[in-house]
A and B are shown apart, each in its own frame.
Chain A
Amino acid sequence: QVQLKESGPGLVQPSQTLSLTCTVSGFSLTSNSVHWVRQPPGKGLEWMGGIWGDGSTDYNSALKSRLSISRDTSKSQVFLKMNSLQTDDTAIYFCTEGLDAWGQGASVTVSS
């Protein structure tokens, strides 16, 4: 059974860096892609980027300068790091396996 779970701080100060972890089970990171998708309060879905089975990454060009996605296959974890956070980065952050299975989401508020 494929499962994903996001973890990280619920509150981040403006200009700081967001670090999120997606812990997965039921599939191999070396065979499947994992993507990050976010959803601001009351709004739609935005693809942020993904890491493929071969370890290569793709990013939304609007976020590319601030975003990094990496993984630790031995721990079945995928990481998201995004710097220079602003209030409009407040959102629920989801990780998803190939856009098939989704985690429950991690709520992140950017506020001082």
Chain B
Amino acid sequence: DVVLTQTPPTLSATIGQSVSISCRSSQSLLDSDGDTYLNWLLQRPGQSPQLLIYSVSNLESGVPNRFSGSGSETDFTLKISGVEAEDLGVYYCMQATHAPLTFGSGTKLEIK
């Protein structure tokens, strides 16, 4: 199974600060169809996960553009440019290139 390693496990930020979360895959997530199925989700406290970014860098409809994703093959990054209070929660990367689908262990974002 593909192992996704997220760092850091926890992140503390002030409002307005920019932060980045890393997701490294144990194997390339480039699919034979040319797409890379690496997504980012946010789970706010007590809520269901919410898709933020799909296929590395595509912003899901309704998601603020302070969120951005980048990367390729095995190294991926989620950046939040100007953290807001509503961004607190746990961020997960997940891959859908290889079966079984797998998730990273999560990065908890706390607001100082």
Contact of A47 among B60, B103, B105, B106 (CB under 8 A): B103
How many inter-chain contacts with C-beta < 8 Å in the A-B complex?
A: 44
Is the CB–CB distance between B92 and A100 below 8 Å?
A: no
Residue B12 is within 8 A (CB to CB) of chain A in the complex: no
A35 to B39, CA, bound (A): 15
Is the CB–CB distance between B96 and A99 below 8 Å?
A: yes
Per-residue CB contact flags for chain B residues 27-42 toward chain A (1 = under 8 Å, else 0) read: 0000000000001010
Which A residues touch B96, using CB under 8 A? 99
Interface size on B (CB < 8 Å)? 21
A52 to B17, CA, bound (A): 41
Residue A61 is within 8 A (CB to CB) of chain B in the complex: yes
A69 to B100, CA, bound (A): 15
The smallest beta-carbon distance between B73 and chain A, in angstroms, is: 21
Contact of B50 among A46, A102, A105 (CB under 8 A): A102
Using CB atoms and an 8 Å cutoff, list the residues of chain A in contact with chain B: 35, 37, 44-47, 50, 58-61, 94, 96, 99-100, 102-105
Using CB atoms and an 8 Å cutoff, list the residues of chain B in contact with chain A: 1, 39, 41, 43, 48-51, 54, 60, 92, 94, 96, 99-106
* Pairs A-B, 3 closest by C-beta atoms: A102-B48, A47-B101, A45-B103
